Structure 1
Amino acid sequence: MMHTVSTTLRFVARSPRMETHGRAFSTLNKKPITLLCSFRQAPLLSTRPPSLPPKSNLNPNPNYRPSLWSHMFGKYLIVTNIVGSGILLVIGDMVTQQLEYLAQNYPFDYHRSGRMFITGLIMGPIQHLFYNLLDHILPQNTQIATLKKIFWDQLLMSPMYLFGFFYLTSLLEGHSFQDSNDEIKEKFLYTWMMDCIIWPAVQYFNFRYLKSVYRVAFINITNCLYIVLLSYIKHDMGEHTCKKGKK
């Protein structure tokens, strides 16, 4: 019996599985010593988080406040374009009335300037949306893109602006839709031809060299000069036509 037990123990001790477990155990016994030695030889790593840049680099001027200009042509761009359109139409009409006073001694018509202001307020959103859409479709400022913008501006925006200008001013004066249509038939073609002569060169500079946020403002400033012509066509040509009709 004892001989059998000793033979069994020798067999188990010599089996591959037990030899494997024996190597693993001896390896585990040696591993902590190896790790300890390698840990002592390796340089210590810093556990400190990476330092943030100084606050002065993140915000060089903590007391900085956006300027009025950045508000006008940033957050409140649409308001700037709408109100600017109305104000600059009034300025253009005032110049026209001053010239009429010097030439023909006409009294200043405040109601007429008020109608021009309302017309500008209504046309301002149309300009803002159209030129934003145009810059979204054609964001480049290359020569080809600029010529395309001028083409669509003269084909779409120019007729819309002229129709809106003559219709609104006529209706605000108390005329009927038929009278407004008659005025459009009389003055639109001549005015649009003048528009095609004046505006392409202006719009080339606008589309090619200016930022999109200044688009409508630049157009409205130029309108101060152009509205002198429009106001003359609107009022003086109408008076001359009435005089001829009476004769």
Structure 2
Amino acid sequence: MLRLWKWYQNCLSVHPVKTQVISSGLIWGLGDVSAQAVTHYTAKTQRHHHRPDKNKEFAINWRRVATTSLFGFAFVGPIGHFWYEGLDRFIRLRLQMQPKSLRFVATKVALDGIIFGPLDLLVFFTYMGYSTGKDTAQVVEGVKRDFLPALILEGGIWPIVQVANFRYIPVRYQLLYVNFFCLLDSSFLSWIEQQEDAAWKQWLKSIVRLKEQKEQG
């Protein structure tokens, strides 16, 4: 394991972008296998849905694994690499904040949550919609259904993850750190997508709408 880690460090030093792209694709592919398992066994336990395939054995959908891996290769890897590198330089050099300080970490977490987090979710749900053969209207409907609930729920988790990331993890390893948490996150997003128009989604949306109405009133 130590030898593998040293090999990864060497690859990251020599080919930083390529290494981030490949590792992101592989990790997201592995995460999708986990997500498929979660989706399968969750659906199997939903007894009120009498589906004819509910007793089928779990089988990996390799096409979907490839599709999700491509998201890691094409978006998370390159965009994530330049995002974390650029975010660090911007806060250190432009805002001139002391690295690892409370303000430094808090600003990073805030910008990551406001900019990259929503963008990542938007691209993910849009890409996964089109990759399954949906038309634009169906993709838009899916994004409207899943984006806000996912953003609200992840908003309570990712800031904690990113505080540790920005405080203790060197910049060059921050995307790798995030990708490993994405093993869990991809399962979560898959579960979100599978829930369709579940009651709890409607409840979350109603709270947001009520808050907006109060602010407007």
Query: What TM-score do the two structures reach when normalised by structure 1?
Result: 0.66
1 or 2 for the larger relative contact order (CA 8 Å, sep ≥6)?
Answer: 2
Please list every run of 5 or more consecutive structure 2 residues that lacks an aligned counterpart in the other structure.
1-5, 45-55, 93-98, 200-217
Q: CA deviation at 1:130?
A: 1.1
Matched, 1:181 2:133: no
Q: What is the aligned partner in structure 2 of residue 151 from structure 1? A: 110
Percentage identity across paired residues of the two chains: 23
Alpha-carbon separation, structure 2, partners of 1:135 and 1:189: 28
Q: What is the aligned partner in structure 2 of residue 71 from structure 1? A: 10
Q: What is the aligned partner in structure 2 of residue 230 from structure 1? A: 189
In our comparison, the structure showing a higher alpha carbon Rg is: 1
Deviations 1:134-154 (A, max 9, x none): 010123121111000000000
Q: Conserved in 2, the CA contact under 8 Å of 1:90 and 1:117?
A: yes
Q: Amino acid of the residue matched to residue 135 of structure 1?
A: D
Q: Amino acid of the residue matched to residue 90 of structure 2?
A: I
Q: CA deviation at 1:72?
A: 2.2
Secondary structure (helix, strand or coil) at the match of 2:145 reads: helix
Alpha-carbon separation, structure 1, partners of 2:144 and 2:155: 18
Q: What is the aligned partner in structure 2 of residue 85 from structure 1? A: 24
Equivalent runs, 1:20-169 vs 2, <5 Å: 68-103=7-42, 104=44, 105=56, 106-123=58-75, 124-139=77-92, 140-169=99-128
Alpha-carbon separation, structure 2, partners of 1:157 and 1:100: 26
Q: Amino acid of the residue matched to residue 138 of structure 1?
A: I
Q: Conserved in 2, the CA contact under 8 Å of 1:101 and 1:108?
A: no
Question: CA RMSD, aligned part only?
Answer: 1.9
Tell which deviates more after alignment, 82-91 or 161-170.
82-91
Please list every run of 5 or more consecutive structure 1 residues that lacks an aligned counterpart in the other structure.
1-66, 242-247
Alignment size in residue pairs: 174
Alpha-carbon separation, structure 1, partners of 2:174 and 2:113: 15
Matched, 1:201 2:160: yes
Secondary structure (helix, strand or coil) at the match of 1:73 reads: helix
Alpha-carbon separation, structure 1, partners of 2:79 and 2:138: 24
